[in-house]
Amino acid sequence: MNKPTPTPVTGLPWHDIDTVMLDMDGTLLDKYYDDYFWEKYLPQSYARKHLLSNKEAEAQLLARYKSVESTLQWTDLDYWSEHLGLDIARLKSEITHLIGVHTYVVDFLQWIRAQGKALHLVTNAHPKALEIKLNTTGIEHYFDKIICSADVGAAKEQPPFWRGLESLLDFDKKRTLFADDTVKVLAAARDYGIGHLVHIARPSSRIPLRYSDEYPSVADFSELLPD
């Protein structure tokens, strides 16, 4: 199977963009933190609670994850706390040293603010997870508004999210740029009519670049900054 050929982002028409919306996990923040938590740290805690091997716990949790993928439940820490009998927010707080901001993100956020464009954080993260990450990184002051999918009542992969966003934010979708590391989310944004889409090809610092063959892809935000 051939690897996707990256579609470069060359000369974004910034004069045609009034609003910038950015995903958080994998886009602004290194997704290694989340990958490690859900794939290793949580299964280890679950294994200790239920006297399982780590591999048995990983297999059981993977099946549970897949059953709610692309829904609000997938990122709902309260949902997982109830169903697994563990304090998920507390566990996530135990490894905040793994939370990191991707390179050139702050440079990009500062540049967007200097241009006077509206800048919004639009994330599927649960409010408790969002609080942990913003307290750790301190990036919240760059944004005009921060919207969680829980505020809308649908995940970003779902069409109702984008329709619901209209009641929370004032924006012209044709003059909006949206960046995300998930192709399903970008597809929903495209179907809704967002005018400018960017795919983040390295959501985690621990995995190789994975370019999209459908959307313009960047390895990091330096590629979106003007020369």
Verify whether residue 16 is a known catalytic residue: yes
Helix (H) or strand (E) holding 105: helix 105-114
3-class DSSP assignment, residue 125: coil
- Cβ–Cβ < 8 Å for 75, 124: yes
Q: Tell the residue number behind the tokens 């566990």, with chain if given.
A: 91
Find the helix packing angle between 42-50 and 54-67, rounded to 10°: 110
Residue 182: alpha-carbon gap to chain centroid: 8
Residues 6+ apart with CB under 8 A from 122: 21, 22, 23, 147, 156, 165, 178
- Cβ–Cβ < 8 Å for 129, 23: no
Structure tokens at 196: 């400018």
Residue 127 is given by DSSP the state H
Inter-CA distances, 68 with 24, 119, 178, Å = 20, 30, 24
Structure tokens at 35: 């990958």
Which entry of 16, 172, 191, 213 is annotated as an active-site residue?
Answer: 16
CB atoms within 10 A of CB 114: 8
Q: Which residues are catalytic?
A: 16
